[in-house]
Chains A and B, each alone.
Chain A
């Protein structure tokens, strides 16, 4: 086929696509937006769900008073959950494990991966604090037996112990284990497990809804040109590009 025909065909295709795409003006779209009814109490519940899941217990309490929205979980349990999270974040892993078991011993019993990650974090903290002997002993006695059960645990253990091989850990390939982000990762894993054990979702709904908005806009893009919101943080409606 000659290039000419190829171009002609492509043009025809583009034309067909453009023709099939509906154009919705700002005025029309705003009318549609106005027909949408969002209930205030639903938005309040959404905000409360965010505060509670993220663990802002004092904020949730204030919001309950100011808006009359009931939290979907007992606020007292948030305090306990946050204490565990904070303990991991500040490196007191032993303390965290004790607290989790006080809360509900089943959480660690039924979740070997989480328990391993907590023990691994404990090992990391020992190495961070330069307690080489203690770290070795702990790795051999507590972690190695678990590695035998599970190949990926073993690999993780080896990676962690590798920290001991380096004088200057700031420059070693597994140095990221000592990073604050590792603590945060472990902390959020415990947090999620506690929420799940309380039959609560581990993530707040709001971020999912924002993702859903992006998805819905992308889906509609295939069929129509309409005013989009591209910047979620300012929620500004932008004119359709035709």
Chain B
């Protein structure tokens, strides 16, 4: 008896964890509907405090700079940095200058410098800096001797400087065309920098507030394509995608789709053959397939009462604890469905009976409050808690029930394995690898984001 007690207790703990996982998932969803990374702060204006005072005048919008004195030597350059370093968690950082007036000598430069850069020297002349100079078209990269690079630039030209974090390169543009690139061997924060060094030289800086002359989007697309071409050379075992799709359908109990998929892949020429060893693992997820399908349908149709009935009949252990996360999610859903059909009085009544006991409990509180908040709006779908009325909320509840049923399979050793399909595990691994690599790379480069991959479509080149 003690043994069975221990068993049931252990299962309980596991079950709780599973339900809570989905509860968290639905809170995350609410906070980040788009699932995108938060943007880093990017430079927006010139830094007027840390500049070579005396030689230059910065306009009031902090986007123009003019050399007003007469230059005498190499240590009276008018240098000015952006107010923020270039953000690194992206593929490319880029900014542009428009040369309004090349002044007496046209000694204008654009580039990147470190935070401690000597503000009276041209970018590129000193260590940890890099600059493309207008008077000679040379690239200066850490010392006073430039290397052949590109054309000179002067009044009327638009010149750009960028960092390609994937290739670890600086690149420069003139009037919308790439001039060239150079290896980026500097670490740490890099500030967009411009320099003017003869009387009346004046440049205007564009940090992206206005459209760039250079087609940055196209450049980014090309850079991604370069990487993609390398990746496409890798080979994966044939039909592995079929197996992954099939196990996904199995995992989530999309039974009708699965049956149709099996029929279709048999009639494909040549027939799709999924290796036998994968099938053996499948037994675990074939478990209760029809029950899982039925419950998913009920929940997707908003018929929570019947879902509860079926669960009580088939898997009483899942709903026996009325305060479990799974029951909580189902009760919330019932409440949401009542709001959806406008049965507000009934919703209030239901909430009083089934939801009040969750108030004040840290993990449950957010969702209860959001549910109740639905009552406050005439147009709840348009409100900040409108996410609850979307199909995706039903899906989360259906996924919770699905995982709970999978975990009742006596062959499942660790219930956490019921949470994720193979597809999800692979995508998590992919994301984690990319994030970790970026972390070890000084947070440089863009992260993998499934939504971006999904919305991008390769150009129709064939």
Contacts and interface: CB of A to CB of B under 8 A. Distances in A.
A215 to B, nearest CB: 5
A229 B25 contact: no
Most B CB contacts (10 A, CB to CB) among A56, A66, A201 go to A66
B457 A201 contact: yes
Interface in B157-207: none
Given A204-B241, A237-B429, A223 B35 contact: no
Given A33-B428, A208-B232, A216-B434, A40 B392 contact: yes
A213 B436 contact: no
Interface stretch (A4-12, A41-49, A95-103, A134-142): A41-49
Interface of B: 25, 28-29, 32, 35, 228, 230-232, 234-237, 240-241, 243-245, 248-249, 252, 254-257, 260-261, 263-265, 269-270, 275, 277-278, 281, 293, 296-297, 300, 391-392, 395-396, 399, 421-437, 440-441, 448, 450-451, 453-454, 457-458, 460-462
A63 B254 contact: yes
22 contacts: A32-B436, A33-B432, A39-B451, A43-B450, A46-B423, A46-B450, A58-B260, A62-B260, A63-B249, A63-B257, A66-B296, A184-B270, A192-B462, A199-B457, A210-B244, A212-B231, A213-B429, A213-B430, A216-B433, A220-B437, A229-B426, A232-B237
Nearest to B293: A66
A208 B231 contact: yes
A159 interface: no
Interface of A: 22, 24, 29, 32-33, 35-43, 45-47, 49-51, 56, 58-59, 62-63, 65-68, 86, 89, 111, 180, 184, 192-193, 196-197, 199-202, 204-217, 219-220, 223-224, 226, 229, 232-235, 237
Nearest to A111: B462
A177 B343 CA distance: 68
A237 B399 CA distance: 23
Contacts of B461: 196
Contacts of B249: 47, 63
Contacts of B451: 39, 42
A235 B425 contact: yes
B269 to A, nearest CB: 5
Most B CB contacts (10 A, CB to CB) among A22, A38, A214, A226 go to A38
Contacts of B264: 56, 58-59
Given A68-B395, A205-B453, A43 B236 contact: no
Contacts of A35: 432
Given A59-B257, A62-B256, A233-B243, A42 B432 contact: no
Contacts of A38: 424, 427-428, 431, 450
Contact of B257 (A36, A66, A200, A219): A66
A214 B237 CA distance: 12
Contacts of A68: 300, 391, 395
A40 B25 CA distance: 10
A214 B235 CA distance: 9
Contact of B230 (A42, A209, A215, A224): A215
Contacts of A204: 241
A76 B303 CA distance: 31
B236 A232 contact: yes
A17 to B, nearest CB: 14
B429 A33 contact: yes
A45 B356 CA distance: 37
Nearest to A213: B430
A22 to B, nearest CB: 7
B278 A233 contact: yes
A204 B458 CA distance: 11
A43 B275 contact: no
Most B CB contacts (10 A, CB to CB) among A24, A49, A62 go to A62
Those 4 A-B pairs whose CB atoms lie nearest each other, nearest first: A216-B433, A235-B422, A235-B425, A62-B257
Nearest to B236: A210
Contacts of B300: 68
Contacts of B441: 223
Contacts of A192: 462
Most A CB contacts (10 A, CB to CB) among B228, B256, B436 go to B436
A187 B118 CA distance: 64
B462 A202 contact: yes
A43 B424 contact: yes
Contacts of B426: 209-210, 213, 229, 232, 235
Contact of A232 (B28, B244, B457): B244
A217 B428 CA distance: 12
Given A33-B429, A36-B432, A39-B451, A211 B260 contact: no
A196 B234 contact: no
A108 B25 CA distance: 48
B231 A66 contact: no
Contact of A32 (B232, B256, B391, B435): B435
A51 B240 contact: no
Given A47-B423, A59-B260, A233-B240, A67 B234 contact: no
A240 to B, nearest CB: 12
Contact of A47 (B235, B245, B281, B436): B245
Given A43-B424, A50-B241, A211 B234 contact: yes
